[in-house]
Structure 1
């Protein structure tokens, strides 16, 4: 049988590297010829070699840049005309807009876009109107749109004019599922976690709250810092570890937050880490106070790691976590509620253990990687056949 020819496009290569880890290699092994495309970046060599896929660089940006964007549409269209894929599948808002326009122009028969979080959820005024227009164009050019959570699908249906027959959630949600064997603690990871605690000056019996993600306003970092500063006055054995890069050019945290992160002796900002598992291993409670998400992989990873979690009541998070059953859900942008949840965990080791066990069991049952990959493979084959 002739292999299906598939192109996967994201705005920046780190999305291919982290969000689709292992999936592209799996698709190749199922008689699918896979190509990838994104802007330039240091992650290209790593994921291209790991997944065994050729990669093409285009001038994609995460900002609103009309002239650069049109140049990217033309270049991408010409490339697609050359390789003649059966399917173009895009992720991230800008790649979706550029990729779906170019794929339609190139005559690609199956044009798929995954929605995993929408910046317009937090935008207002003119910016929101621009982002809504971009989503409408993306969806009109696509033949199928895959929100990666049920709640996100409902939001799109109520907020964006779209042919509802195009909308579909793959499996129970998530873009890539979770490798539950990879994301679980081991003696080796525990040793690495202990070493990390020592290097950061954190005692063995002190309590570590960890956040993983971009250090930006939309991830709830301002509220997280406010809550932790108050918690640190109540409990002098608490630490906060922030794993991820600052993005001051896109969505900076406040000056007070930045100052606290820099100066507080028990706030540890360790930057981007290609393997977050040692940091999960040293963690007592995982905190993710984001304003908006699609279906956050990092919450699945922390839950798979058997960690008690705190999330906000937003798309995706409130599907992975059931409040009071396998974690705690708090309102978004509410530093007081976040403080109370953090202190509740800090004061109750039994609750931490109970919710951690329940969180992992839920991920294993509902969001295993193999189930998501098989569901997407089935979708590709049915579309082409």
Structure 2
């Protein structure tokens, strides 16, 4: 079989963002997973029955280490002669596409799952823009994981439209709706978990899943909840995810609220988030920027509607008034109004909940996405043979 090299900067992306995908592709290609963190990468390879190759990639700007990684990948590509190299995440994309181009790999693919540089300014932004252009120039094909992200890439002038393609309805890996199934949790399960968390059984629960940082809209979320709580005592806010206070810390006042308010509950990082969706009424996800957020798909698959920001990815998964509500980004007044609406209008919330799972099954089922990606590989392979 032909070799397919899949590259991410760290193994966590292989484990979470591409869960199951490489194992599926291994039935059709000889798949090799390339990433940093050698021990963790080897564990991933054994668990997913794919070959691995370690490269010292970093997430920061590290020119010397980046050059070493580039040379190591170039030599590896020359040695094993892959048909396809497919990269994910910014650093893996730049190093992987450049090494693939230099080594003469026929099919070089890069998936874009958001642009972190959008929040960057000054000289650093100029450098990152240039690096992005180099990545796309070295790629045969670039896959934005949402239609709006494709338009952003074109607006920034990173590449031409004929090099860009959104696979299916978007996303990088779809969603496993058999795993994210609301029927997996009984009423007793939900009552038990509420007791463990000490959430009042009759409370309406707003849930957020993800990192607790400013760019995820946590300052606005907590502020809106505090305001709502002044007139509604039987509501709770459940925050599922780690508090990160180094790169993008929360407002100190918001941290104080989180730590002191009896109706704000935190769990820290959780591998399995399904139980927390199961006991909640609605996901609130007021992020400033995303690629194609898995959390929103996961919630909807669990029949939990979502309040989301009007940003790429979120505004493609959520149809306003159908499986959730779309609000302006960084707007705590609109967020508060929407949070109040779903709490006070049972009929409206019930309609959103009833629509949510079906929409996800129709548009983003994981195995369906895998088949779309495999078809893309095979079509590119056929074109390469023809050339």
TM-score in same-fold range (> 0.5): yes
**Contact map agreement 1:312 1:331 (CA 8 A) in 2:** yes
The DSSP-based 3-state class of the residue aligned with 2:182 is coil
Deviation at 1:43, TM superposition (A): 5.5
Moved more, 297-306 or 264-273: 264-273
CA distance in 2 between partners of 1:357 and 1:283 (Å): 15
Deviation string 1:300-351 (CA, Å, 9 cap, x unpaired) is 1111111121000000111111111221000111111111111111112222
Q: How does 1:115-154 map to 2 (within 5 A)?
A: 115-154=112-151
Q: Say if 2:161 is the partner of 1:164.
A: yes
- What displacement does 1:191 show? 4.4
Deviation at 1:287, TM superposition (A): 1.0
Aligned to 1:51: 48
Contact 1:308–1:353 under 8 Å retained in 2: no
- The match for 1:12 is 10
Q: Say if 2:132 and 2:158, in contact at 8 Å, map to a contact too.
A: no
SS in 1 for 2:291: coil
Tell me the CA shift for residue 37 of structure 1.
1.7
Q: CA deviation at 1:268?
A: 2.0
**Is 232-241 or 108-117 further displaced after alignment?**
232-241
Q: Tell whether 2:22 aligns with 1:24.
A: yes
Q: Which residue of 2 aligns with 1:207?
A: 204
| 2:385 corresponding residue in structure 1 | none
Task: Specify the alignment match of 2:75 in structure 1.
Answer: 78
Correspondence for 1:255: 252
RMSD of aligned residue pairs (Cα, Å): 1.8
In structure 2, the residue matched to 1:99 is: 96
Deviation at 1:233, TM superposition (A): 2.0
- 5+ residue gaps, structure 1: none
Distance 1:256 1:82, change over 3 A: farther
- 1:225 correspondence with 2:222: yes
In structure 2, what is the equivalent of residue 320 of structure 1?
317
Asked whether the 8 Å contact 2:306–2:324 carries over to 1, the reply is: yes
User: Are 1:281 and 2:283 an aligned pair?
Assistant: no
Q: Counterparts of 1:241 and 1:42 in 2: how far apart (Å)?
A: 34
Which stretch has the larger CA shift, 375-384 or 54-63? 54-63
Alignment partner of 2:26: what SS? Answer: helix
- SS at structure 1 position matched to 2:31: strand
Structure 1 residues 270, 41: CA separation in 2 closer, same or farther (over 3 Å shift)?
A: farther
The alignment partner of 2:250 has SS state of coil
Of 320-329 and 65-74, more deviation after overlay is shown by: 65-74
CA distance in 2, matches of 1:32, 1:75: 22
1:4–1:384 Cα contact (<8 Å) kept: no
Find the aligned partners of 2:312 and 2:232 in 1 and give their Cα distance: 31
Aligned length: 382
How far off its partner does 1:378 sit?
A: 0.6
Cα distance in 2 for residues equivalent to 1:181 and 1:265? 35
CA distance in 1, matches of 2:97, 2:374: 20
Q: Give the drift of 1:192.
A: 4.1
TM-score by length of structure 1 reads 0.94
